[in-house]
Amino acid sequence: MSSPRLDLALHLIEVLAAIVIATFAVVGFFQPAGHFPRWAWTVLVIGGLAVLTIGARLIYQAWRPVSFIRSYVEPFDTKLMFSPKFRVELRNDSGRCIDIETSKWLEGQPLSHNSPRQTWQVYRAGKWIPSPEGDVKVHAHAGELVRTWMIFKDMSENEVENGRRNRRLGKLEVLVNDHRLQFKL
């Protein structure tokens, strides 16, 4: 899961890597042939490690474009048709726009309906849309939160909450730009 501090640290590494590589290139250009100082090798190694770190970040974002943010149980409400709702929030960490939809509920506690459908919402302009319940698929911009919900068959609010805390509710498969990702809930 990404955080603002981690993002800042990675951006600082990117900037430092660029400075190191630029310095190395300039100093290396002015060195006499056959003379390569030890400090230059050190700079090259540090710069190489920074570049590898940046590359690993990009590979991770490509491999896992969506991060699990949180899950929670909405309190039981007698006015709602389905209750208690179990909500799952994810964040688009891909750096680009994505389409996200539920593929299927793979295993775990039985749902009151076969799989979550028409339950996706995106947090935009200070509210969850589409409202009130969601859609089959949503389009999320880079950094935006998305959420879905589901109802477990014959489970009380406390049972769902205990299952959530212990991550024993099941496994949700999500389709992100036609790539399947799994989240243990």
Q: What is the pLDDT of residues 30-83, one digit of tens each?
A: 666 666 677 777 777 777 777 777 666 665 655 667 888 888 888 766 666 656
Q: Are residues 130 and 47 in the same domain?
A: no
CA 181 to chain centre: 10
Are residue 45 and residue 112 in the same domain, yes or no? no
Task: Say yes or no: 113 and 152 in one domain.
Answer: yes
Q: Are residues 54 and 70 in the same domain?
A: no
Q: What mean pLDDT is predicted for residues 155-159? A: 85
Reduce the DSSP state of residue 22 to 3 states and report it. Answer: helix
Write the Ramachandran bin of 139: left for phi over 0, alpha for psi from -120 to 50, otherwise beta.
beta
Q: Bigger pLDDT: 169 or 10? A: 169
Higher pLDDT, 24 or 88: 88
Q: pLDDT band for position 1 (50/70/90)? A: very low
Q: Say whether both 79 and 170 belong to one domain.
A: yes
Q: Say if pTM beats, i.e. exceeds, 0.75.
A: no
Q: Three-state DSSP class for 141?
A: coil
pLDDT of 5 higher than 60: no
> Cβ of 101: how many Cβ atoms within 10 Å?
20
Mean pLDDT of the chain: 78
Of 10, 21, 8, which Cα lies nearest the Cα of 48? Answer: 21
CA dist 132 and 107 (Å) reads: 27
Same domain, 43 and 78: no
Q: Do 29 and 106 lie in a common domain? A: no
Select from 63, 81, 110 the last residue of a domain.
63
Residue 152 sits in which domain range?
66-184
Say what the pLDDT of residue 2 is.
Answer: 47
Residues 97 and 42 in one domain: no
Q: With a cut of 60, say whether residue 127 has pLDDT above it.
A: yes
Q: What is the pLDDT of residue 32?
A: 66
Residue 109 and residue 59 share a domain: no
Do 38 and 76 share a domain, yes or no? no
Split into its structural domains, the chain has a count of 2
3, burial (CB in 10 Å: exposed 0-12, middle 13-18, buried 19+) = exposed
